[in-house]
C-alpha cells in the first residue's frame, strides 16, 4: 500500500511519503502545494492523509482534483480540518478556508449540491464533527447527534466543535 501525507509538517505518518512546502518539515518531497501538478504520477496512492492542511491552501477545488488525480480508484482519503466554529479555525492567520460538515459533499457521487465546480467524484465513507472530551462537550455532541444541520446553523458558535473528519473513497 502506497501512502501520502499531504502537508505532513513535523508529524509525518509512519510509512508514508510526506509532501510539504517547508524544508523544516519531515517531508520526503518539498513542493509548494499551491502549484499544480504535484510531482507525482497519476493513480499512485492507495491512502492519502490531509490532516490540517486544506484550510491553508489557496484553491480547495484544485487541491481536491489533484488528490483525485494522484489517487488510485478506490483509494481512501482522510481529511481533518478545524470546524468553522472552532477557535483554531480562526486564530491561525494562515488559514484561508473554514469548513462545515457538508463542505466535501460537493465532491461526492450522491451530492445534493451543485456539480458545477468539478467532475471528480468521491464516495463518503465517514464524516463527523469532533468535540472535546470534557463533560461540557456532552451537550453539543447530543445536539449534533440529534441534528447536525441544526447544530451548525443555530448552536455551533454557542457550543463550538473542534474538528471535522472525513473519510472519502476515490471514484474513477
pLDDT along the chain (172 residues), means of 10: 97 97 97 98 98 98 98 98 96 96 88 76 95 89 95 96 97 96
Q: How many CA atoms lie within 13 A of 121 on its CB side?
A: 11
Per-residue CA distances from 158 to 81, 106, 138, 148, 152 (Å): 20, 27, 13, 14, 10
Task: Look at residue 114 in the predicted model and tell me its pLDDT.
Answer: 64
Q: What is the pTM of this model?
A: 0.94
For 37, phi then psi, to 5°, come to -80, 160
> How far apart, in whole angstroms, are the C-alpha atoms of residue 88 and residue 36?
27
The dihedral region occupied by 125, where left means phi > 0, alpha psi between -120 and 50, and beta the remainder, is: alpha
Q: Give the chain's domains with CATH numbers.
A: 3-131+163-171 (3.40.50.150)
3-class DSSP state of 98:
coil
Task: Look at residue 116 in the predicted model and tell me its pLDDT.
Answer: 72
Pairing of β 3-6 and β 121-130: unpaired
Amino acid at each position: 500500500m502506497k501512502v501520502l501525507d499531504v502537508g505532513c509538517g513535523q508529524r509525518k505518518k509512519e510509512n508514508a511519503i510526506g509532501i510539504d512546502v517547508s524544508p523544516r518539515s519531515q517531508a520526503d518531497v518539498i513542493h509548494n502545494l499551491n502549484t499544480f501538478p504535484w510531482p507525482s504520477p497519476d493513480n499512485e496512492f492507495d491512502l492519502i492523509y490531509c490532516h490540517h492542511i486544506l484550510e491553508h491552501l489557496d484553491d480547495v477545488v484544485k487541491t481536491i482534483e489533484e488528490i483525485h488525480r494522484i489517487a488510485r480508484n478506490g483509494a481512501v482519503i482522510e481529511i481533518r480540518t478545524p470546524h468553522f466554529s472552532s477557535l483554531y479555525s480562526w486564530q491561525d492567520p494562515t488559514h484561508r478556508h473554514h469548513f462545515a460538515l457538508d463542505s466535501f459533499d460537493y465532491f461526492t457521487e450522491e451530492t445534493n449540491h451543485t456539480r458545477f465546480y468539478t467532475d471528480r467524484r468521491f464516495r463518503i465513507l465517514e464524516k463527523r464533527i469532533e468535540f472535546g472530551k470534557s463533560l461540557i462537550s456532552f451537550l453539543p455532541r447530543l445536539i449534533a447527534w440529534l441534528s447536525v444541520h441544526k447544530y451548525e446553523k443555530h448552536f455551533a458558535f454557542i457550543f463550538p466543535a473542534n474538528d471535522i473528519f472525513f473519510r472519502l473513497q476515490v471514484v474513477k
